[in-house]
Amino acid sequence: MSTANRRVLPGFGLGLGYTMLYLSILVLLPLAACLVKAAELTAGEFWAAVWTPRAVAAYQLTFTVSLVAALINVVLGLIVAWTLVRYEFFGKRLVDALVDVPFALPTAVAGLVYASLYVKDGWLGQFLVPLGFEAAYTRNGIILVLVFTGFPFVVRTVQPVLEELDAETEEAAAVLGANRWQTFRRVILPSLLPPTLTGFTLAFARSIGEYGSVIFISSNMPFKTEIAPVLIVSRLEEFAYKEAAAIAVLLLAFSFVLLVVINILERWSRRYDG
Amino acid sequence: MTANALDTPAPVQTTPPPMRPRQDPWYVRYMLIGLTLLIVGGLVLVPLASVFVQAFSKGVGAYWNNLFNNADTRHAVFLTLVVAPVAVALNTVFGIAAAYTIARFRFPGRTILTTLIDLPFSVSPVVAGLIFVLLFGLQTPAGAWLRDHGYQIIFAPPGLVLATAFVTFPFVARELIPVLEANGADEEMAARSLGATGWQMFWRVTVPNIKWGLLYGVILCNARAMGEFGAIYVVSGRIGGQTDTMPLRVEKLFQEYNQPAAFALASVLTMLALVTLVIKVVVERKMRAQMTRPTEPPA
Amino acid sequence: MLRKMFLVGLVVYVLGAFVWVVASGFARNEQLLNVACDPTRELWHDINAAFVVQHEHDHGVKLRIRQSHGGSGSQARAVIDGLPGDILTLALWTDTDAVRKAGLIEPGWEDKLPNRSLPYTSTIVFVVRKGNPKNVHDWPDLGRADVGVITPNPKTSGNGKWSFLAMWGAITTRGGTEAEALELVTQVYRRVPVLDAAARGATMTFAQKKIGDVHLTWENEAQLEVQEAAGELEIVYPKVSVLAEPHVAIVDAVVDRKGTRATAEAYMKFLYTEEAQEIIAHHYYRPTNPAVKARTADRFPAIELFPATKVGPTWDAIQKRFFAEGGVFDQIYATGK
């Protein structure tokens, strides 16, 4: 599979040129506009804009709910991936297809329906609220909806790895006297670690920026349930463009770091592939 | 190379290993299956059912009415069906170009380019909308120039397309890169050595080989494009009957005391999502077949 | 063969869509865009229908009037950013004037239309649950620890600002001190369960999502809300409230560029005709036409209304003191949370 084919295969110039052009116009230029706008602030002003108590509360909230949701997704994702790969049961194909629904479903629909399910007289809320679990308009609701949107990530990164797991290695371990639990801990778990970590980071990154579903179910109160993207829109609507751009830049920087981490994790994960 | 913040990794696998249900104790098995059903049922199935139940809560007649007898709702459907395909088409052309360049050639900056393509995935949709307002708003030089010439980008469909294209930017490219890499350049080089021109090679060899991966990327891109909310919310201006796409219209209907209508429109979006998933499953099967098919040596 | 036809059809469809999108960026001159604050949707729906009929009768042209609704402050921001509104019908003077400051409206806009550009006024009242279980009758009741107030964010919503000013003024115009007013607003806003961006969102929160004990909103929105609730909610008129003055204005930069000035001016004039004033009263906005006002007096309970100027000397001062960056409202949240 040779690839250094500039002399043999045509189209390098055209391909690269168009790619760079489109990338620049649609992605780099607008992002640059954001940086330029934020740069209109002095360093002191920038800091003052992104580090207000309200903003800090928003970052803390965003980070916390995204982390919790991603962790929940690790647990749920592992259970579901394990079951889908290793067991047969009635309706398995349907369940497998349903896992991808959060990817395809518009976030606004997700937010709308989740909010209506968990209010006091919603399908699920009518049972849960008396039990003390208030999802709508609380942090719990945000976590719930983030669990929904991030659900497929861990499942879909773990599944292929689990499927490729060599049956022989497991049997060899059993033959050598390991019980099920030891086999699980020493043989299976280590190879699950990279994809789980990757899935976790993907779900985490997705949750950080999520907007459409959260605004339906959150009360968007400053200091209590205002996530960072909502804060940005708020600042924008208050005519505070530069401050909105500044917070956006901070969010961008953080997401970019996550992106790099994900790329590294994927490369590490690939070393474990057969 | 598996896809990134993209939804599913490209389904590159051989035959799955045999199931070993007997090795896990039966109580473990049943517990896990039960949990799985509970999880998927509660997280996904119940909300899906709820959308349709609430949409039809006032009867089929009202459902039909809500969707077709309201001019603004009709326009929202129309607008989504126009904006999304255009954004997807733009990203598809780009995706093919980028994937071809990255998969077939080695050049300095190749890794950086690949990472840059992923960039929009890590940008919150709200920020995606904000950057276009910052670029084309009236208070910017670009915006003022456009206004003087009577053209409107944000608060009008062109802005909607740009925001949508930004948010769904990487889908097609990320899908095609592994497919092209897996296919190898042999067939293309063979075509060249037999005298094909660049374009002939492209249309007759390259494209047919990637058609399933292309379709896969396109439908994922489209699903996301039709459902985009945050970015559109910021750039649309919410002009009823003019710049409201379906997701925005759902929110507006909800705000106008009209839950059944909001859910009716939401059900249309949900059906589109389900169709996307069905096509996805079919395409995945075709892709798996293509991967395991032995490649023929050039004649 | 079929596949080829399908692909060709798809390409044609996408190309057509592309052309449509590009063309849609050009301004449409045969229509007006009314950029309005949030809760006035139903009002403009009816007024527009009536005006379109009259316009067709006078000019033979079927006019199209588009509406955009959102929080008053948010809408002003959008117009400054380029939302091509011909008409601005926001909730309060500051927001419209912000557009003037950005150069899109000529100075002196207030006096271009009768009655200081006020075809109608309104006020802020309370909406409570059936039977008024929390026994809320006047402004100080809102500060009680067991009362959760629903009202939108003053930074983005006209309703939000008016509620705030009503609260403040209800204390200071009846002999209370500034400190007492500050105490009331602090207590209330610290306990607000949900702070929506605009009026209609707050109505949804209170009426549909059933959050909160008291909803502070426009009189007209309250009436609509109670009607929709079919007995579950009731209106409580406090003894005093603020005189809410939602000015209307023509956006000069836009109408001159689009050439729609004549139509826009006719539209504005229409608002002062008896026909329009009747529609206005029908929707529970207080009409300013004396004849209609007298005719519809029974729709509007007597309530003592004080103007915003009683709270701060000028609008600019009010904005700066209460709602600007670091102002009183920001302070409420900055401390003790």
Cβ neighbours of residue A66 closer than 8 Å, sequence gap 6 or more: A146, A204, A207, A208
Q: Return all residues near C140 (Cβ < 8 A) that are at least 6 apart.
A: C171, C184
CA distances from residue C108 to A237, C115, C262 in whole angstroms, order as listed: 26, 13, 19
Share the mean pLDDT of chain B: 83
Mean pLDDT of A73-82: 93
Tell me the nearest-neighbour CA distance from C142 into chain A, angstroms: 19
Mutate: best of B54, B250, B255, B259, partner C, most C CBs <10 A: B255
Residue position matching structure tokens 């297809």: A97
Arithmetic mean of pLDDT, B151-168: 91
Residue B8 predicted with pLDDT over 50: no
Of B139, B136, B179, the residue nearest B286 (C-alpha) = B179
Distance to chain C for B284, nearest Cα, Å: 20
Q: What Cα–Cα distance (Å) separates residue C280 from each residue in A107, A194, C228, C287?
A: 38, 65, 19, 6
- The amino acid that residue C219 corresponds to is E
Contacts of C87 in chain B (CB under 8 A): none
User: Are C82 and B143 inside 8 Å of each other by CB?
Assistant: yes
**CA contacts within 13 A on the Cβ side of B256:** 20
Residues of B whose CB is below 8 A from A26: 90, 162, 165-166, 169
CB contact under 8 A, A12 and B101: yes
Q: Measure in Å the smallest separation between the Cα of A52 and chain B Cα atoms.
A: 19
Residues of chain A contacting residue C97, judged by C-beta atoms under 8 Å apart? none
Q: Which residues contact A125 (CB under 8 A, 6 or more apart)?
A: A117, A118, A119, A135, A136
> Which residues, including other chains, have CB under 8 Å from residue B204's CB and lie 6 or more apart?
B191, B196
A119: tokens are 């209010």
pLDDT digits (tens, 9 = 90+) for B23-63: 677 888 888 899 999 999 999 999 999 999 988 888 888 88
**Which chains sit next to A, with 3 or more Cβ pairs under 8 A?**
B, C
Q: H/E element holding C296?
A: none
CB-neighbour burial class of residue A243 (10 A; exposed 0-12, middle 13-18, buried 19+):
buried
Q: Is C97 exposed, middle or buried (0-12, 13-18, 19+ CB in 10 A)?
A: buried
Q: How many Å apart are CA B287 and CA A227, to the nearest integer?
A: 40
pLDDT of residue A4: 52
B182: which residues sit within 8 A by CB, 6+ positions away? Answer: B12, B291
Residue A199, Cβ neighbours under 10 Å: how many?
Answer: 28
**C-alpha span between A274 and B10 (Å, rounded):** 16
Q: How many residues does chain B have?
A: 299
Say whether A234 and C156 touch across the interface (CB within 8 A). yes
Global pTM reads: 0.84
The pLDDT tens digits for B211-224 are 888 988 999 899 99
Q: Write phi, then psi, for B67 (nearest 5 degrees).
A: -85, -40
Residue A29: CB partners within 8 Å, gap ≥ 6?
A: B135
Host H or E run for residue A118: helix A107-118
Top residue of C35, C72, C77 to mutate, by most chain A CBs within 10 Å, is C77
Return the closest-CA partner of residue B44 out of C13, A95, C279, A18.
A95
SS3 per-residue string spanning chain B: CCCCCCCCCCCCCCCCCCCCHHHCCHHHHHHHHHHHHHHHHHHHHHHHHHHHHHHCCCCHHHHHHHHHCCHHHHHHHHHHHHHHHHHHHHHHHHHHHHHHHHHHCCCCCHHHHHHHHHHHHHCCHHHHHHHHHHHHCCCCHHHHHHHHCCECCCCCHHHHHHHHHHHCCCHHHHHHHHHHHHHCCHHHHHHHHCCCCHHHHHHHHHHHHCHHHHHHHHHHHHHHHHHCCHHHHHHHCCECCCCCCHHHHHHHHHHCCCHHHHHHHHHHHHHHHHHHHHHHHHHHHHHHHHHHCCCCCCC
- Return per-residue pLDDT of chain C as tens, 337 residues: 788 888 899 999 999 999 999 988 886 666 889 999 888 888 999 999 999 999 888 888 888 898 888 888 888 888 988 888 999 999 988 889 999 999 999 999 989 888 889 999 999 999 999 999 999 999 999 999 999 999 998 888 889 999 999 999 999 988 889 899 999 999 999 888 878 878 888 898 888 778 899 999 999 999 989 988 888 999 999 999 999 999 999 999 989 888 889 999 999 999 999 999 999 999 999 999 999 989 988 888 888 999 888 888 888 899 889 988 778 888 887 664 3
Rounded-to-integer distance, Cα C311 and Cα C321, Å: 11
> Kind and range of the H or E element at C142?
none
pLDDT digits (tens, 9 = 90+) for B93-113: 999 999 989 988 888 888 888
A175 inside 8 A of chain B by CB: no
- Count Cα atoms within 13 angstroms, Cβ side, for C189: 31
**Residues of chain A with pLDDT > 70: what percent?**
94
Instruction: Give, as one character, the DSSP assignment of residue C26.
Output: B
Of C77, C194, C337, the CB nearest to A237: C77
Q: Which of B31, B35, B43 to mutate to test the interface with A (most CBs of A within 10 A)?
A: B43
Q: Which residues of C touch A223 (CB under 8 A)?
A: 333, 337
Q: How far apart are CA B173 and CA B101, in angstroms?
A: 10
Please give the order of strands across the beta sheet that includes C87-89: C64-70, C31-37, C87-89, C249-250
Q: Which chain B residues are closer than 8 Å to A207 by Cβ?
A: none
Strands C214-218 and C120-129: antiparallel
Max avg pLDDT among A166-180, A185-199, B74-88:
B74-88
**Complex ipTM, two decimals?**
0.82
CB count within 10 Å of CB C178 equals 10
CB C63 within 8 A of CB C31: yes
Structure tokens at A161: 């790895």
- What pairs with residue C287 in β-bridges? C120
Q: Which helix (H) or strand (E) holds A265?
A: helix A241-271
The predicted structure's pLDDT at residue A268:
77
Write a three-state SS string for A26-72. HHHHHHHHHHHHHHCCCHHHHHHHHCCHHHHHHHHHHHHHHHHHHHH
CA–CA min distance C331, chain A (Å): 11
The beta-carbon neighbor of B40 closest among A15, A26, A99 is A99
Q: What is the rounded distance in angstroms from the CA atom of residue C168 to the CA atom of residue C277?
A: 31
The predicted structure's pLDDT at residue B13: 45
Q: Which tens digits make up the pLDDT trace of C132-162? A: 999 999 999 999 999 999 999 888 888 999 9
More confident residue, C128 or B143: C128
Q: CA–CA separation, A64 vs B27, rounded Å?
A: 35
CB contact under 8 Å between A54 and C195, yes or no, is no
Classify residue A39 as exposed, middle or buried by CB count within 10 Å of its CB (0-12, 13-18, 19+).
middle
- C71 and B CB contact within 8 Å: no
Q: Which residues of C touch B259 (CB under 8 A)?
A: 208
- Mean pLDDT, residues B170-199 taken together: 84
List the single residue in C with minimal CA-CA distance to A223. C337
Q: 3-class SS at A223?
A: coil
Name residue, tokens 């309005």: C36
Q: Are A266 and A198 in contact (CB under 8 A)?
A: yes
Q: How far is the C-alpha of A236 from the C-alpha of C78, rounded, in Å?
A: 10
Q: What angle do CA B263, B269, B274 make, to 5 degrees?
A: 120
Q: Is the pLDDT of residue B19 over 80?
A: no
Q: In C, residues 270-289, which contact B (CB 8 Å cutoff)?
A: none
Between chain B and chain C, how many beta carbons pairs sit less than 8 Å apart? 88
Contacts of B73 (CB under 8 A, 6+ apart): B66, B67, B249, B253, B261, B265
What pLDDT is recorded for position C337? 39
Contact C101, C48 (CB under 8 A): no
Quick check: A57 and C337 CB within 8 A? yes
Distances (CA, A) of C103 to A32, A193, A238, C99, C315: 27, 59, 18, 7, 19
What sections of C24-66 are H helices per DSSP?
A: 41-59
Any chains having at least 3 CB pairs less than 8 A from chain C are A, B
The beta-carbon neighbor of B240 closest among C17, C26, C67 is C67
The number of residues making up chain A comes to 274
Residue in chain A closest to B164 (alpha carbons) equals A26
Measured between CB atoms, which of A219, A220, A239 is closest to C77? Answer: A239
Question: What pLDDT, on a 0 to 100 scale, did the predictor assign at position A68?
Answer: 94
C302 touches chain B (CB under 8 A): no
Tell me how many helices (H) and strands (E) chain A has. 15, 0
Q: Is C155–A221 a contact, with Cβ atoms under 8 angstroms apart? A: no
The three-point CA angle A133-A138-A144 to 5° equals 70
Strand partners of residue C68: B239, C35
Determine the residue among A103, A182, A204 to mutate to test chain B binding: the one whose Cβ has the most chain B Cβ atoms within 10 Å: A103
In 3D space, the residue among C232, A274, A200, A66 whose CA is nearest the CA of residue B14 turns out to be A274
- CA–CA distance, C191 with A175 (Å, rounded to integer): 65
The answer to whether the beta carbons of residues B163 and B232 sit under 8 Å apart is: yes
